[in-house]
Amino acid sequence: MYAWPHWLALVVMTPLAGAALTPIAALLDRRSPPWWALATMTFTSLAATMLVLRVFAEGPFSYLPGGWAAPYGVELRFDEFSAVVGVICLIGWMAILFSSRYTRSLPEFASDRSPYYYALLLLNLGGMIGFAVTGDLFNLFVFLEILSLSGYALVAVGGERIAEMAAFKYLLMGAVSSVLVLFAIGFLYGMTGTLNIADVTARLGALEGPTAPAAVALALLAVGFVTKAAIFPLHVWLPDAHAAAPSPVSAVLSGLVVKLGVIGMIRTYRIYYGAGLFDLTVLNHVLMWLGAISIVMGAFFAIFQEDVKLMLAYSTISNIGYIIMGLGLATTYGVIGASVHIFNHALIKATLFLAVGAIIYRTGYRTLSDLRGVGRAMPLTSVALSIGAISIVGIPPTAGFLCKWYITLGAFEANQPLFGFVLVFGALLIFVYYIRMVNAFYFREPIHAEVTEAREVPVSMLLPTLVLASLCLIMGVLGRIPLTFIEPGVVRLLAPLGG
């Protein structure tokens, strides 16, 4: 069943078409948008499952929409890294289910706006899925813009006081980085005369003449994608945007959208490792250092935050630092750890944001001191939150441990023990601020009546949180599966073409 070729087209088209049809569904029945969006994502998840099964069984495969052969037509290509669509579907589904109750509590969120919220969410998910599976550079740019534009709008949708400012800041930096990526794509097209990623790689490798334009294109791509991934010092848009967005949107933005910048980086690496035009040591060193600085600075800023969502947002910067550092190490272990951390961090951060969202929904408070003692009032949500916290620190039986362990191994394999120590130091800093949170929630006396009187959230919000939290534990126990799954992809990524 998984061999049916059209799953790959359906996985992209379903959420995009579903987004376009959401307002129509709302015309037929005013309360249908969340269920329509859930149905759309259920079908998309089915397609994604088939695709992941197929890549597990057969390795990477392509799909040619319209039947035009690869260099002329647009190619969709599904490889091991594209398996991120599985996580996109999972978290997207959970976030939509969570939103069905959560959005009713938002200020300025009249029910006539809700179809557009779900349409934007589906567009965002569809854009991410398309970005992860496309094999064409210009298509990559179009999907990048779909996911970014819907992301900017989703930040503003909650109506927090600073939401529009945060969204505008995000839009400005995001749009500049998109323009840089488009410029780079123009460079690559000018040099090779093609837009198909595999074809660009081959022709770039056979290129005669100066390599300077290729280096400029690489620099533009790197800066563009690193901005999308919110690496220090290009992270300034992230904290406000992720803290001001409604919590299910924060889960999607923080868990998934920034990761697509990393996927873009991996695609760039594929082109340049494959072409073997020049040594990438300089870029690798830059990424390693930027990653290390992000780990420390992100964790450092997070320690001083009182607002729980801002703290989680800074923690995202820190964790993206791990991933970028793993990529920069350019050893098999490092890149495997980084790739698996893309999956695992998405699960963990979605758990944390949904749990915090549930707490904010019930109590209306969002700073550590206001939320003292909430652990006793909302036991299940707080357990999910604690599991997320343990996972993100990287304590052994949880999902965060294995990938950080692999990145550390990678640092020693690359003969860069300094970065191994940075990694452990970063984990310690992260431990400090999550301990602060757990301490406030469980061991301090509540100061607000709303906190002591808070009840557990309804099932539609509790279920996604608990499922994701248990996945954090399960992925820790079954951690070998993603590691072995991604390994052939990483080996292919690091090898020159034909080597």
Partner 1 sequence: MIVMLWHNIDYVASVVLFSIGLYVVIAKENLIKKFLGLNIMETAVFAFIIALGMVEDGRPPIMTGDAQGPFASPLPQTLVLTGIVVAVSTTALALTLIIRIFRRFGTIEANELREME
Q: Which two tokens stand for residue 66?
A: 């319209």
Count of residues engaged in binding partner 1, rule: CB under 8 A: 25
The stretch near partner 1 (CB under 8 A) out of 74-82, 182-190, 316-324, 426-434 is 182-190
Distant-in-sequence contacts of 164-168, Cβ < 8 A, 24+ apart: 165/240, 166/237, 166/240, 166/241, 166/243, 166/244, 166/245, 167/241, 167/244
- Site membership for partner 1, residue 23 (CB under 8 A): no
Q: Which is nearer to partner 1, 168 or 431 (CB)?
A: 168
Q: Answer whether 407's CB lies under 8 Å from 325's CB.
A: yes
Q: Is 289 in the site for partner 1 (CB under 8 A)?
A: no
Instruction: State the DSSP string of 145-158.
Output: HHHHHHHHHHHHTT
Which of 3, 24, 179, 428 lies at the binding interface for partner 1 (CB under 8 A)?
Answer: 179
Q: Which residues pair with 61 in a beta bridge?
A: 78
191-220 binders of partner 1 (CB under 8 A) = 195
CB 341 within 8 A of CB 322: yes
Rounded to a whole number of angstroms, the minimum distance from the CB of residue 216 to partner 1 is 10
The residue among 78 and 141 lying less far from partner 1, judged by its C-beta, is 141
How many Cα atoms sit within 13 Å of 297 on the Cβ side? 17
Q: Give the integer Cα–Cα distance in Å for 457 and 460.
A: 8
Contact between 116 and partner 1 by CB under 8 A: the answer reads: no
Binder among 61, 183, 405, 425 for partner 1 (CB under 8 A): 183
Q: Give the residue, chosen from 47, 52, 125, 171, that forms a contact with partner 1 under the rule CB under 8 A.
A: 171
User: How would you class 398 by CB atoms within 10 Å of its CB: exposed for 0-12, middle for 13-18, buried for 19 or more?
Assistant: buried
What residues between 129 and 168 interact with partner 1 by CB under 8 A?
138, 141-142, 145, 149, 152-153, 156, 161-162, 164-165, 167-168
Find out whether 388 and 261 touch, Cβ atoms under 8 Å. Answer: no
Any contact of residue 346 with partner 1 (CB under 8 A)?
no
Q: Which stretch binds partner 1 (CB under 8 A): 187-195, 202-210, 272-280, 463-471?
A: 187-195
Report residue 159 CA to chain centroid gap.
23
- The piece of 109-117, 181-189, 274-282, 477-485 that touches partner 1 (CB under 8 A) is 181-189
The binding site for partner 1 (CB under 8 A) comprises 138, 141-142, 145, 149, 152-153, 156, 161-162, 164-165, 167-168, 171-172, 175-176, 179, 182-183, 186, 189-190, 195
